[in-house]
Amino acid sequence: MNRPYIICHMVTSLDGKVTGDFLSTPECADACEIYYDINRNLKSNGFICGRVTMEGSFTGGYYPDLSRYEPVHHDMDLKMDFILDDMSGFYAVAFDPKGKLGWESNKIIDPDVDPGYNGAQIIEVLTEQVDARYLGYLKSMEIPYIFAGKTEIDVEFALFKLKNIIGCETLLLEGGSIVNGFFQRADAIDELSLIVAPVVAEKDDKPLFADSALSNFEIVNAKIENNVVVLNYLKKGERASNNNVVIKWEDALTLDEAIKSEKSE
């Protein structure tokens, strides 16, 4: 496989929503903690988020004054990738087609110093629509960027570069709905890690995949913990053995076994 192995790792409501006020309810607290615990312990090269998720989680809406930066141009007006000589090896990959994220550091600074996020080297994935002055800003901040598409991000091309230029073998896809949909339609999700909170979301909350296409997965792990169902799926047809599954639990059960175990406690 000439791209990283992709695990879509998300908290969902009972009705399959992934964004909304339900995430901040007390009923969702245990689901969120299980999500972060899995995130901290997975052996990956980093995580992928879309612009909206990155803004909500890390940048807080900050955006630089681009008039302060020299535009970056290349011969024949080609847009070239920018990679640092010294990279951290753990990455926060922002799918930011038009270059709308403002960063105040070239690494994630998590207020909780969460090892699943803090210190991750930021990489911007862009399209050719980006303002040349934004490239000047990223270079001044020593934030690497790669191009993958003219007006929309080409997921396959982006992943090819993330593996063959950056060296990523496994990445977590962590939303939101739009970027998850990009990957699902591109058939680029190998594994699903879903932590299902015991709540129903509101009607305008966003689903796991926006504009999804038909695809099939098979369940390989299931457990119930603190009234939360934790599910792990593998893309159907790729399960040669359980060794293909990245997320493994020693106490993994079938869903029926997990329900019986919970009832007996």
Query: What is the predicted pLDDT for the residue at 123?
Result: 98
Query: What is the predicted pLDDT for the residue at 88?
Result: 79
User: Listing from the earlier edge strand, what are the strands of the sheet with 217-225?
Assistant: 145-147, 121-126, 91-95, 46-50, 170-173, 5-12, 191-196, 228-235, 217-225
Query: In the chain, which segments carry CATH 3.40.430.10?
Result: 1-45+171-265
204, 192 Cβ separation under 8 angstroms = no
Query: What is the predicted pLDDT for the residue at 236?
Result: 86
Answering whether pTM is above 0.95, one says: no
Closest to 45 measured CA to CA, from 133, 165, 172, 150 = 172
265, 255 Cβ separation under 8 angstroms = no
Structure-block tokens of residue 107 = 């690494």
Geometric angle at alpha carbon 155, from 50 and 206, rounded to 5°: 40
> Over its length of 265 residues, how does the chain's per-residue pLDDT go in tens digits?
899 999 999 999 999 999 999 999 999 999 999 999 999 988 899 999 999 999 999 999 999 999 999 999 887 677 899 999 988 789 999 999 999 999 999 999 988 889 899 999 999 999 999 999 999 999 999 999 999 999 999 999 999 999 999 999 999 999 999 999 999 999 999 999 999 999 999 999 999 999 999 999 999 999 999 999 999 999 987 754 444 455 554 454 555 565 565 556 5
> Residue 176 in 3-state DSSP?
coil
HSE (side-chain half, CA atoms, 13 Å) at 17? 17
For residue 202, which amino acid is it? E
Query: What is the predicted pLDDT for the residue at 70?
Result: 96
State the architecture of 1-45+171-265 in CATH terms. 3-Layer(aba) Sandwich (3.40)
Q: Where are the alpha helices (DSSP H) in the chain?
A: 29-41, 51-54, 132-140, 155-161, 177-185, 255-264
Q: Which residues contact residue 264 at a Cβ distance below 8 angstroms, ignoring those fewer than 6 apart?
A: none
Strands (E) across the chain are located at 5-12, 17-19, 46-50, 91-95, 121-126, 145-147, 170-173, 191-196, 206-207, 217-225, 228-235
Q: What's the alpha-carbon Rg for the chain, to the nearest Å? A: 19
Query: What is the predicted pLDDT for the residue at 79?
Result: 83
Regarding beta strands 206-207 and 228-235, do their DSSP bridges make them parallel or antiparallel, or are they unpaired? unpaired
Query: What is the predicted pLDDT for the residue at 265?
Result: 55
Query: What is the predicted pLDDT for the residue at 241?
Result: 44
Query: What is the predicted pLDDT for the residue at 257?
Result: 62
Euclidean distance between CA atoms 208 and 220, whole angstroms? 19
Euclidean distance between CA atoms 91 and 202, whole angstroms? 33
